[in-house]
Structure 1
């Protein structure tokens, strides 16, 4: 038997160049493992040290050269592949707090209407940061069982004998597909939800009276006498002056509004949200992008702060911070609990801006409040309209402008009889018709005529 030479394995292709992007930590771990396999296959450890280092740098790709130059290695370390790999590991995958990453993993739950594949991708991505080792499949399986939204699917998983990760994934995918097919079979009409926050659903609860913070009286739901009434203290609608929470000082009149890009108060705050709803194309919306995640926000000038549901925040890398705001108050006096706040670097119309959001648990439509809409130039207040008197000529003629109208060839037009005019207003109608004839707007016809298209 002869010993294989290096030429026998020289046909093995090296891994592709390392992709340096936002997922570099994960990419580095995968690429490093591929290179180890490649090095073993070509018996790289039997070659001279300088060849090993040169092979590594040739395979990692040109994007890593500037990073390598920044290591400032001496001549000895430049030919030591172990030191080079260690430097790249420290650069691309800095040491993380494993306990915290596992805490995030344990908290993950499937969101409402979130496809199982998206849920599985989220827990796999987080699990990579947790260093579970040989327990990875077991931890993923348990996370599926306890994190899945459907109680029916969870029951199937718990009653399955010798449940494995593969079995759990297959059960979830099959159940999800069967549910979609059943919905289509039964012809369910899935209408868009209108998220109106209500604290109680029963008729008794809706008729229950409470002490109103806007008018100062005790009344039932939607019976507030201050509704749409202006406050003589702050000139805002919706409350009386003796219930106004606006604080005045010598130099400033500080209102309890959101500062979309910055805040300076240390006291507890409560913001008013005119409406949180999903009304489709009728509302004004803009698309934002954060960490590659795109979502629509509603431009709501009736809202005093920016609102972001937690399920969108969970898809980004941002960390939730404590907020002085405890609740968001809707028009109907219902309150939404604020989990915290987060300042996100958002891409808006090819520009990057920082926006401060109040984060809530409910899966409502994300909104941008009045202050942010104005600061970002999305809405503007028009105080006056300028008119020009020299742009028209005669009656309804716009000078210096031609309009191209597309006409249908050989149209079938419906001819209807003239409408009867009540005797009491016949004289007024005749006077108006005579006036329009004199202005050459219309012309009289005494007999039926065919429909004209020219």
Structure 2
């Protein structure tokens, strides 16, 4: 007996609604422990019960009238009397109508094996006081089993069906389903896809609501703005701050220079002569301007061509960046 591991003490203070079930499980474990220990004396068995159950159960035991006796009571020895009194304390009178209601609610879950489902039915069915437990188990399996194929097989057998036949059929179906998964030859190849999503962040939304006068985010240029009557330090006009000044376009046209490509000196094979201009503007933007501010593009031209000399032959070539709209100039 000394080599046997001790069993866990009984939890008397757990969930009250399940204390009866916990007591049944603990008493069953203790009965196995006694059998393995080869203890037969009733008083020693009672002493081992009180020792193994823990102090909380000992307090309950000694508070129950008639639980601790020194002599046998009729056909019950001192150990049987102790167990009977504890049963009466932890297992209040049960209603078979309620237990049968719980039994009828049990169904097989999608990830639950048939054996696990059957064990739950057997445990609850033992509390229902059925005259024919197997018949009620079969009824519940037909109604609440997860497998439609198993239900068809049971109904096909008719009145000749029994529980052993159902268990064999259920285990066979589960085994076949596991094997079929191994025969699956469907393969999938991963494809990496580049997909753009619309920007919905608060910062991106605010980016399009910048005040054109002061650069603020809490109002628009058409609203009452603190820069409405302020003089711009860049262009000298009223109505905006320097950082929001858009006179760069005009300044660039005045200060910039034009680079012109003329194809008139080259043979054009009857095609119309054409030239194009590029404006390179001096930048006098404020260096302290935050990097998050917007940059403005005032013009987007069509595809630009430049002359290239290839083998002493002048060829017009398009500057192409691969985008739908080209922002690359001939200078670039």
TM-score by length of 2: 0.43
User: Between Structure 1 and Structure 2, which shows a larger proportion of helix residues?
Assistant: 2
User: Between Structure 1 and Structure 2, which shows a larger proportion of strand residues?
Assistant: 1
TM-score by length of 1: 0.33
Larger relative contact order (CA 8 Å, sep ≥ 6): 1
